[in-house]
Amino acid sequence: MKPRILFAMAVIYAVWGSTFLANRFSLESFPPFLLNAVRFLSAGVFLYIFLRIRGEERMSLRGWLQSFLVGGLLFVGGSGLLCVGQQWVASGLAATLIATVPLWTVLFAGIWERLPSPMEWAGLVLGIAGVAILNLEKGISGNPMGAVVIIGAAVTWGLGSVVNNRFKELGKPIASATEMIAGGLLLLVASYFAGERLSWPITPRAAIGMFHLVVFASIIGFTLYRFLLREVRPALATSYALANPVTATVLGTLFAGEALSTIALASMAVILAGVTLVFRARSF
């Protein structure tokens, strides 16, 4: 692979693996939808102004409408629902559930490209089986709604990733900014109707977490992710989810006092085995 692709993948592996802990810290002061509204509006507006100063052309009306569709799927349904679920589910377990993103991405990509191969179907079944095993884990079985919400986040993120590539207008560099702005506005609406309120004063950990989410996870991470979606196959672009459970579990244990049971570790292995099958199938 080209060095720039390897670099982009390495950065996303590191940055997005730590997003779960940043979410956990930010939730101390920010409710889920408001958290993501602040995150993506801040990042989107900054990136939009930066790109316009550099001479990038503005987005067309059609492009903005497409940005609202994709932004709603990725940021309201994906990132927003993830934070909702993380109110009850530990970082490592949340990352394990989100590790199914490549499975859903491949499945949705088959609608427009080709259906999954036998090896990919096997990976899908194995991944879903691993999620089912998670229901035996104490932290998940005690809060099944959290698991359902996070799985919903994985599904909508996978769908949004595939739909993103269907729109020619969203191939422009400035689409990274317009999608985050559109998603942030939709998140503000969701936050209002959910009756969310900011917990004041903002804790130091919440401030650090929000800084990480805005600068590293959004401005840098999402820009590189959209680049990968255009340059490589969906299964490879979403393969960052393979490393997320390990990174999130280690960081959650070290900095948030989280623990992981034997059953959860077993389910993690099964899910990652399923994702790996899908990843390997796209290599042939």
Whether omega for the bond prior to residue 201 falls within 30 degrees of 0, making it cis, is: yes
Mean pLDDT of 227-249: 76
pLDDT tens digits, one per residue of 83-111: 888 888 777 677 778 878 888 887 888 77
Kindly tell me if the per-residue pLDDT of 78 is higher than 70.
Answer: yes
pLDDT category at 184 given cuts 50, 70, 90 is: very high
Mean pLDDT of 110-137: 73
CA distance 173 to 57: 9
Kindly tell me if the per-residue pLDDT of 71 is higher than 70.
Answer: yes
Task: Tell me what pLDDT residue 123 has.
Answer: 78
pLDDT category at 281 given cuts 50, 70, 90 is: low
Going from N- to C-terminal start, the domains of the chain cover: 3-281
More confidently predicted of 171 and 207: 207
Ranges 72-76, 97-101, 138-142, most confident = 72-76
C-beta pairs of 142-148 under 8 Å, 24+ apart in sequence: 143/88, 143/89, 145/88, 146/85, 146/86, 146/87, 146/88, 146/89, 147/85, 147/89, 147/97, 148/85
Average pLDDT over the chain, rounded to an integer: 84
Kindly tell me if the per-residue pLDDT of 75 is higher than 50.
Answer: yes
Q: Which residue has the tokens 């999130």?
A: 248
CA distance 221 to 40: 12
More confidently predicted of 150 and 284: 150
pLDDT tens digits, one per residue of 152-183: 999 999 999 889 888 888 888 899 999 999 99
pLDDT category at 284 given cuts 50, 70, 90 is: very low
pLDDT category at 134 given cuts 50, 70, 90 is: low
On the CB side of 173, how many CA atoms lie within 13 Å of its CA? 12
Task: Tell me what pLDDT residue 135 has.
Answer: 58
Mean pLDDT of 225-237: 80
